[in-house]
Amino acid sequence: MASIGGPNKITDGLILAMDVSSERSYPLTFGTTWHDLSGNDLDGTLQNGDMARVVPGEVRLNKTSDRINFGHDTLLEPTSITVSAWVNLLDISDRHILITKWYGFSFEIGSNARPYFRLNGPGDQHSSQAIVWGDWHHIVGTFDSSTLKHDVYVDGVNKGTSVKSSQISYNQGTFNIPYTGNPGYAKGKMASLYIHNRALTAAEVLQNYNASKNRFT
């Protein structure tokens, strides 16, 4: 597993690893399956016509119907969690619900262009920094069930932190990229998605950012 996402990528606790730049994750022959590299076989299915525009290095979302459906699996209901993704959003007209495990967690971008990591129970943690539309950004949300610490990072830097008063609550909802409703559909690109069953430290988040940033900066 050490080679997933590059030699310096943190893989301890990894439960989902999607990266379009890897032929093992998304073959150059295209198709409708985005393969999980973690070994847990949590593959996603590309749905609706515009998802055929996937090219090496990015998945393109059209804001009206494109989505990736992962179904339901209890592995995607950890008590502690880190969700990280490389994204490039192209539309500022509405809220984007990029990643959602309904109900449980979601990663969203508000109409003010600020990312926030939403957890069912603990609530939201907002970033103090807005992202730049049309640029690639590495967004990360973490939650530690032992300390109830809830954090958001943008491009390797902590941009929001708080201590909550409850644990994450799940109800066996499906996992999708993006949320399949309006508002919520996203217009833009996603290159990778990683989920860990623990809260990565600030140093680990920065290490993962540095391990992949040359592809996007």
The domain segmentation of the chain, as residue ranges, is 14-212
Is residue 103 helix, strand or coil?
coil
Backbone angles phi, psi at 101, to 5 degrees: -110, 100
Q: What is the pLDDT of residue 1?
A: 44
Per-residue three-class SS string for 121-186: CCEEEECCCCCCCCCCEEEEEEEECCCCEEEEEECCEEEEEEECCCCCCCCCCCEEECCCCCCECC
14-212 under CATH 1.10.10.10, yes or no: no
Average pLDDT over residues 63-67: 72
What is the maximum span of the chain, computed from C-alpha positions, in angstroms?
A: 47
Q: pLDDT category, 37, cuts 50, 70, 90?
A: very high
Calpha distance 212→24 (Å, rounded): 17
Residue 213 has pLDDT above 80, yes or no: yes
Q: What is the pLDDT of residue 60?
A: 76
Average pLDDT over residues 115-120: 96
Calpha distance 71→136 (Å, rounded): 27
Q: Which two tokens stand for residue 126?
A: 């907002």
Q: What is the pLDDT of residue 56?
A: 46
Average pLDDT over residues 71-88: 96
Q: What is the pLDDT of residue 89?
A: 87
The tens digit of pLDDT for each residue in 151-165 reads: 999 999 999 999 999
Calpha distance 194→70 (Å, rounded): 13
